[in-house]
A and B are shown apart, each in its own frame.
Chain A
């Protein structure tokens, strides 16, 4: 990943961890809206929401990172992003337990994810940086939303 300059990052909280989303890809941040459950969908993307007349899939990154998934509360937000799904540009929403702020992230301070000892799949993590005293995880959105497995065949979406 890029190692120079800064990235404007939106910090969101998921089960106690902090994740950085590229602010440029964020279209809007919504309060919780009614979520329509899609039957037989993969747990990672099991919902659909209405964003200004568009039907947008709702994804839960907590699935990919093997986290607990409690019911939403009054802090829960939906971050609507422009991302690539299966290689094509699309819009999707992701659940966030908390939304913090938008701040500059020095890319030079970001390190590659450790090859061992990390409890998440390495290919879902682009790097780990620092936000104040805390670690901030930069997820690999392309990989997470990719509809193919590493060998090119479609795979079940789940963590580790």
Chain B
């Protein structure tokens, strides 16, 4: 069993707490009156302080303590939340983060932050002295000499029910020294009146101990209030006479302090970061291994199914079918383990936009939807940088300054909207801003200037915007510290394509720009529809398939130029894969069309034959084949041969481009 360093567990927990703290602070800026948010902020700080001290992170604990003290004023209503407080609180949070990761290095830098925090929060009242969590202070000096004590005690009436075990108390006394114990039965009621959970017995204990009075008192520390307790020294070491029934002076009853009724008006906490059930942290490598094993299992099971299908053995077929069901279930479960909500990224962006808007002096509304949309873990991690880049671009170049905006009649704060949504086999992530939009002419000019486009070439707008992804291409008028160097977008595109996704830009000049990323849901195993085109077999991701129809013979025979199908009243463009793949063998008499979709767009893929469904383990293509259009990967079929996986996104794009050209051609 691997030994886990508790410090690591604390660090991980601290990171989670700090993330939650950041979100709470950002939420507080929008909603300063929310007691709930103040409470959750306070709770996070409290836990950080406590756990920090437990695991040796003293600087963290000390710093958080001061932070907590300042925030306590807010909690008690003695200070208000304002943007200044949130700003300094966020800086303090950053500092705590540094202290957690590298204790000792940054301690000194904490002071100015605390100073600023105190200043903002101080409302004239003197600061309460920090209440350090110390061990119970000792009042009496320990008495080293051996002494004899008479201890008489009776428990509070609810003590037994509330878990106090008098036998254990007696054991503890015995540990201090030799004891003589006598039970006091004078208060026992008649049997029929006895309540089993009530304590009717008392005890008298004569103890010889050198531990001192305090140690004796400590034994009863939990039940001091409400109990009857007498501790008196006995003059000689000889055992005192057995207790009389006379009631000794009782201390207990009068010592009970009146419990102050604490505020019970705490609002029920319904945080959006609810912990649902128990969860587990698993090293990512283990998940990857698991995925590999499941992948191999799927291939083997696929081959077994083929063999079973070909054999006549009923039992074999039954088992193969069962295995298929099990492998399918296992695959689904494993895939879902790897899925994490994209919201974990969104939180990070909130902070970035907050900082950006302050740095650039632009007010920005950052709206997110679809936080719960789940993606494969590795995809989410790889998306972080591209999304940061795109959001930065939006804020830096897309959004105009407040003055410009009001001049145009737009609301002062610019809006950046980040959304994620499932669409069939894909996740669509879009970043929309309501800024100035893209200038098609400037982009065109730049493209021609860079020799990427000839002046008389006709291209569609979406194709034009793709130039923005060329390395070094930037139409930004100035290079700011953040963006404009043209270094980023090509990397963004490459990263997205590396995830087998694609990226598109649409814009309305003056109104805004939208960047849309489309990513496949899974990286490794998908359900596929197997088709035949000529002698080759190809797999289409099943979740992209909408329906299959037969290609009407008259449509096929018409002159080229009529590549549309009428599907229940809508025209859907179709692509002949035979043409695309330059297949020379004679075509099937009745060809089939598989209608696939990517986002809102559909295209029909004409194939010779539909062979059925299979589970496909996706293998990537080497560099020799990765550039080929229309293909996104390969897979091994049940009979051991290789089949290619069609890139639905690209093919849909062809269909769309074809459609547009046709339209432009007609309009011309």
A residues with a Cβ closer than 8 A to B are 34, 36-42, 45, 48-50, 53-55, 57, 59, 85-86, 88, 90, 92, 145, 147, 154
Contacts and interface: CB of A to CB of B under 8 A. Distances in A.
A118 to B, nearest CB: 26
B642 interface: yes
B214 interface: no
A59 B625 CA distance: 11
A101 B630 CA distance: 41
Interface stretch (B247-255, B398-406, B616-624): B616-624
Instruction: Report the contact-size class of chain B (Cβ under 8 Å from the partner).
Output: 20 to 34
Contacts of B56: none
B631 interface: yes
Contact of B536 (A37, A45, A55, A86): A37
A147 B581 contact: no
Contact of B641 (A39, A50, A90): A50
B296 A53 contact: yes
Given A37-B536, A38-B644, A90-B622, A48 B628 contact: no
B636 A50 contact: yes
24 contacts: A36-B536, A36-B537, A36-B634, A38-B625, A39-B536, A39-B644, A40-B581, A42-B624, A48-B625, A50-B640, A53-B636, A54-B619, A55-B619, A55-B621, A55-B635, A57-B621, A57-B624, A86-B623, A90-B622, A92-B622, A92-B624, A145-B624, A147-B623, A154-B627
A45 B629 CA distance: 15
Given A34-B641, A39-B536, A49-B642, A88 B623 contact: yes
Contacts of B535: 37
A40 B624 contact: no
A31 to B, nearest CB: 14
Contacts of B643: 36
A85 B625 contact: no
A145 B628 CA distance: 16
Contacts of B299: 53
Contacts of A41: 624-625, 628
A85 B642 contact: no
Nearest to B624: A45
B625 A45 contact: yes
Interface string B559-587: 00000000000000000000011110000
4 shortest A-B CB distances, which residue pairs? A39-B581, A36-B642, A55-B619, A86-B623
Given A50-B641, A53-B636, A40 B628 contact: yes
Nearest to B577: A39
B623 A39 contact: no
A38 to B, nearest CB: 5
Contacts of A37: 535-536
Nearest to A37: B536
A16 B624 CA distance: 27
Given A40-B628, A53-B636, 17 more contacts: A37-B536, A38-B631, A39-B582, A39-B631, A40-B580, A40-B581, A41-B628, A45-B624, A48-B634, A50-B641, A50-B642, A53-B299, A55-B619, A55-B634, A57-B622, A57-B625, A59-B624
A149 B634 CA distance: 26
Contacts of A147: 623-624
Contacts of B641: 34, 36, 50
Given A49-B642, A57-B624, A40 B629 contact: yes
Most A Cβ at <10 Å: residue of B582, B625, B644: B625
Given A36-B641, A36-B643, A55-B642, A90 B623 contact: yes
A98 B301 CA distance: 35
Most B Cβ at <10 Å: residue of A38, A39, A45, A88: A39
A93 to B, nearest CB: 11
Interface in B617-668: 619, 621-625, 627-631, 634-636, 640-644
Nearest to A44: B624
Nearest to A56: B622
B642 A39 contact: no
A78 to B, nearest CB: 13
Contacts of B581: 39-40
B623 A55 contact: no
B472 to A, nearest CB: 15
A100 B203 CA distance: 100
Contacts of A40: 580-582, 628-630
